[in-house]
């Protein structure tokens, strides 16, 4: 995110004492603004109360009250703003198209498993801004969303039923799979990946052992061959 400039009013929002943006700004009777701490420290160290900008001297020390309106204006001008969204491009043959574009379609940047649909950058924005959409499950663009939906309920497959060894949706979990042993699909996927990793490690270890045995067998055969030739030459 980039910080917005101070609305083109940097000089008006700068304290003449610290030469930085006003903090807890106070406005004195002559109309000029200073940081509360800067002006308090300055007047505490001086024998007279005067404005450092117009040099006006006050016979009695003015009461310093925080300028709430000015403080809010500075806050709004300093508020970070979102960077401009990246330029969109039309979907090519290998891209996933946005389901909500009319006419020539933009390239989808996310697919929603909850909706289910694919969205370009513009049509995806409500998923980041609307409260009811923020909890939807977004994934990388996927042209095969139907394969990730329950055929019966048309809901996203989020649960793995260990009893039936199948992927199911939440609706299935409370109906025909009620009472079965179930886990989240992501947990089952991680477990399967660990098992696959262990299997591959065992296979690799077995291949290495076989390779080692084969090399040893070749070495022994080569020694026997050399030994046999030596005896023939001796005879």
The answer to whether residue 85 scores a pLDDT higher than 70 is no
Mean of pLDDT values over 147-173:
85
Residue 49 near residue 32 (C-beta atoms within 8 A): no
Position 2 scores a pLDDT of: 41
pLDDT digits (tens, 9 = 90+) for 189-201: 888 888 888 899 8
The answer to whether residue 70 scores a pLDDT higher than 70 is yes
Domain boundaries, the chain: 2-81
The answer to whether residue 174 scores a pLDDT higher than 50 is yes
The answer to whether residue 233 scores a pLDDT higher than 90 is no
| Mean pLDDT value across the chain | 82
The answer to whether residue 94 scores a pLDDT higher than 70 is yes
pLDDT digits (tens, 9 = 90+) for 97-111: 999 998 889 999 999
Q: What are phi and psi of 94, to 5 degrees?
A: -90, -5
Q: Name the more confident of 148 and 78.
A: 148
First to last CA, the chain: 90
Position 44 scores a pLDDT of: 83
- In this prediction, residue 67 has a pLDDT band, given cuts at 50, 70 and 90, of confident
Say what the alpha-carbon torsion angle 52, 53, 54, 57 is, to the nearest 10 degrees.
-20
Q: Name the more confident of 60 and 234.
A: 60
Position 4 scores a pLDDT of: 45
Distance in angstroms (rounded) separating the CA atoms of residues 76 and 112? 34
Position 105 scores a pLDDT of: 92
CATH class in words for 2-81: alpha beta
Position 66 scores a pLDDT of: 84
- In this prediction, residue 234 has a pLDDT band, given cuts at 50, 70 and 90, of low
pLDDT digits (tens, 9 = 90+) for 27-50: 888 888 888 888 888 888 887 888
Distance in angstroms (rounded) separating the CA atoms of residues 208 and 195? 20
The token pair that represents 214 in the structure block = 């084969």
Residue 58 near residue 49 (C-beta atoms within 8 A): yes
């Amino acid at each position: 995110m980039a910080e917005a400039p101070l609305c083109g009013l940097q000089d008006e929002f700068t304290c003449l004492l610290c030469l930085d943006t006003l903090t807890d700004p106070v406005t004195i009777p002559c109309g000029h603004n200073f940081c509360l701490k800067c002006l308090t420290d300055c007047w505490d160290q001086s024998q007279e109360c005067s404005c450092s900008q117009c040099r006006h001297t006050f016979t009695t020390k003015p009461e310093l009250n925080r300028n709430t309106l000015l403080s809010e204006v500075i806050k709004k001008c300093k508020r970070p703003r979102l960077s401009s969204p990246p330029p969109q491009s039309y979907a090519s043959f290998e891209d996933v198209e946005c389901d909500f574009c009319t006419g020539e379609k933009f390239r989808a940047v996310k697919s929603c498993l909850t909706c289910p649909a694919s969205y370009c950058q513009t049509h995806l924005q409500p998923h980041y801004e609307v409260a009811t959409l923020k909890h939807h499950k977004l994934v990388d663009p996927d042209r095969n969303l139907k394969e990730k939906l329950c055929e019966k309920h048309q809901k996203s497959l989020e649960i793995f039923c260990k009893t039936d060894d199948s992927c199911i949706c939440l609706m299935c979990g409370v109906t025909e799979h009620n009472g079965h042993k179930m886990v989240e699909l992501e947990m089952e996927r991680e477990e399967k990946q660990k098992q696959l990793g262990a299997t591959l490690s065992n296979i690799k270890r077995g291949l290495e052992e076989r390779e080692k045995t084969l090399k040893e067998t070749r070495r022994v055969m080569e020694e026997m061959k050399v030994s046999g030739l030596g005896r023939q030459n001796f005879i």
